[in-house]
Amino acid sequence: MPAFLRSTRKALARATGLHHVASPEQSQRKSTWVKPASPTGEIEDDVEEVVVRARKASPKKDRRQPSGFSGVSRSVDGAKKGTWTIVPASRFRVRGKGYTRTNHHLTDLDAVLALKGPSIDAIYDVTHVDVVQCQKKRRDLVKTTLRPPKPAYVSPLHGLVPSTLVINAILPARPHDSDGPCRQVILTCRLTERCCAELAKTAPQNGSGELNLKTAVERIRDPSLRLWAAWCRDIRTHQKASDRNEMRGRFKLFARAADAATSQKCAAMLPDDAKSVVFNGAALLGRDACAVTFVSSRTAGGDVAEISIDGFRLGPRVRAGLHALKGGVGLGSVDIGFGIEARAEAELPERLLCCARLNRAVGAPERSEGWFSGLLG
């Protein structure tokens, strides 16, 4: 200890009659000043004992609601109204090998769809579906209002491929508004065990070495997983807003009637241009309507990616179809899926990120906006 500090400490001890002693509390960033004992072993009463301890910050209460709060339950057969059902990704037709080389001259939608094939198993499994009615659209739900469950399988590529995916589809109540009353369909999904095992082949072993985003993506063998990892990487790392917008524009929404009866109702309710875009299984690009937020938390089981599709920012034909879907009490069941558009041969075939069937859940009684306003103020 420097001489100056030592002399200062002695002078302070003489002036106050207290000595600064080492104690177990000091190892925990605590300071204790005590009165030295008298020759008889007693402490004099005229000197007050002063104890200064560092205060521990009280833990902040998590006010978010857990996924599944709105009461939209899962149904095995989909017979019950206001439920959701797991459906195989093969119900959706996506781009297959050779698609980008042969479709540039085709203008007929049926001819283009004929070049597509069924998707293999989705990258994420849907675990919860929530439907909320709002007076104004809400985004960034994971940060403020929604608490996804801890995933069963944590992504080996933490900081690149998220372990949990949250889809927030915003459906306008009126097709011509830029904001206002809407329903939000929220899908909470977890990474599948098979995809987790595939990603583990490219992760640093035994925790040695930091994750190299470029090499980690290049080493993924599955084209669809590699495309998803590259999409997440570019959204996180691109500095230019134009580059990020270009990547967000590749996010795709699929919607199709689950049965012939629902198709007939769609044909009766929607104009030809709207139903051809929304309910025939063709892909709809998010473009400017897509917003992405990543929330990193190791204690919660890895990264969470929230992707919002703002129906208010879609084209008029699509908004008309979404408006019909919002009021879908009579539309029966609708299958919805989400994916990333493949534009190069090395990215094919495409694969869905997640998919589910809504058994008239969008038109069923749902949780009101009071849940949001109570948490957001």
Give the length of the chain: 377
Answer yes or no: is 62 within a domain.
Answer: no
Does the pLDDT value for residue 195 go beyond 90?
A: yes
The reported pLDDT for the residue numbered 159 is 84
Rounded to two decimals, the pTM is 0.76
> Hey, which bits of 280-320 come out as E strands?
280-285, 290-295, 304-310
**Gyration radius from the chain CA atoms:** 29
Helix or strand or coil: residue 339?
A: strand
On whether both 41 and 95 belong to a single domain, the answer is no
Which domain range does residue 30 map to?
3-52
Contact 367, 377 (CB under 8 A): no
The reported pLDDT for the residue numbered 34 is 41
Helix or strand or coil: residue 175?
A: coil
On whether both 47 and 71 belong to a single domain, the answer is no
On whether both 79 and 37 belong to a single domain, the answer is no
CA 255 to chain centre: 20
For the record, the structure tokens of 50 come out as 């002063």
Answer yes or no: is 112 within a domain.
Answer: yes
Least confident interval from 9-13, 109-113, 254-258: 109-113
Contact 168, 124 (CB under 8 A): no
* C-alpha span between 185 and 358 (Å, rounded): 10
On whether both 273 and 248 belong to a single domain, the answer is yes
On whether both 38 and 173 belong to a single domain, the answer is no
Does the pLDDT value for residue 171 go beyond 80?
A: yes
Answer yes or no: is 255 within a domain.
Answer: yes
On whether both 93 and 30 belong to a single domain, the answer is no
The reported pLDDT for the residue numbered 107 is 57
On whether both 119 and 19 belong to a single domain, the answer is no
More confident residue, 374 or 261: 261
On whether both 287 and 372 belong to a single domain, the answer is yes
* Neighbour count for residue 250 (Cβ, 10 Å): 19
Close Cβ partners of 310 (under 8 Å, ≥ 6 residues apart)? 137, 139, 170, 289, 290, 291
On whether both 46 and 107 belong to a single domain, the answer is no
Q: What percent of the chain has pLDDT over 90?
A: 27
The reported pLDDT for the residue numbered 222 is 93
Does the pLDDT value for residue 375 go beyond 70?
A: no
Summarize the confidence of residues 72-84 as an average pLDDT. Answer: 85
On whether both 38 and 159 belong to a single domain, the answer is no
Q: Each residue of 56-73: b (16+ CB within 10 Å) or e?
A: eeeeeeeebbebbbbebe
For the chain, how many structural domains are there in total? 2
Does the pLDDT value for residue 368 go beyond 80?
A: no
Residue 52 parent element (H or E):
strand 50-52
On whether both 45 and 131 belong to a single domain, the answer is no
Mean of all residue pLDDT scores within the chain: 76
Chain segment 89-141, per-residue pLDDT in tens:
999 989 888 776 555 555 555 666 667 889 999 999 999 999 998 888 899 99
Among the ranges 101-115, 190-204, 359-373, which has the highest mean pLDDT value? 190-204
The reported pLDDT for the residue numbered 305 is 95
Range list of H helices, 192-299: 193-200, 213-218, 223-237, 241-248, 260-269, 272-278
Q: Each residue of 189-202: b (16+ CB within 10 Å) or e?
A: bbbbeebbebbeeb
More confident residue, 258 or 206: 258
Answer yes or no: is 195 within a domain.
Answer: yes
Does the pLDDT value for residue 225 go beyond 70?
A: yes
Helix or strand or coil: residue 249?
A: coil
The reported pLDDT for the residue numbered 43 is 45
Does the pLDDT value for residue 276 go beyond 70?
A: no
On whether both 75 and 39 belong to a single domain, the answer is no
Burial grade of 216 (CB within 10 A; 0-12, 13-18, 19 or more)? buried
Answer yes or no: is 58 within a domain.
Answer: no
